[in-house]
Amino acid sequence: MMFRQKSSKIASNEESYTLISKPLFIETEKTMSINDVNRIAFGATFKGTLSTANDVRIDGNFDGILYSSGRVVVGENATVKGSVYCNNIDFSGKMNGGSIFVRDTLSLKAGCFVESDLSFSKLQVEIDAKFTGKCQMMDAKEFDKISSQYAIHPVEKVDVEVPPVKPVTEDKVV
């Protein structure tokens, strides 16, 4: 967590004071780094439910339910079975059975094979991408309704009071 605050110095005769205003807010959101991406590496198998606010990259085997508030990337050697709910997905691997629900853009990359029902807002299909199943367009409200049971709910920002600062003199801090 990080506080954002403004400070200024006021000098009057021989005394100087430091004034610190109360923080604007506590930042609970942070910039995404490479370490914030959830990974299922090549050779690894995940069975169960994975629900995250961060991005996900799958290069191994996934069997279950995946919910991501971010982007999902399915690598060319990955296999997925089950249901995927996400904002965006780049799919290069294989999927046999299940469903993919995408709030925004579903990208089927060259060489992928998807045997699944697809629901999305936007669809992008590269040459040599293969899929079998139902295709259905949906808007964000439909996605939110369908995925709500798996969704990660954001943490609210909290205001915090900062105690007043005592005056500072040239010789010592009071």
- Per residue in 123-164, pLDDT (tens digit) is 999 999 999 999 999 998 888 888 887 776 554 455 556 667
Q: How many residues does the chain have?
A: 174
CA distance 106 to 118: 9
CA distance 42 to 46: 11
Number of continuous H segments (helices) and E segments (strands) in the chain = 1, 15
pTM over 0.75? The answer is no
Domain ranges for the chain: 37-147
Looking from the CA of 127 toward its CB, the CA atoms found within 13 Å total 0
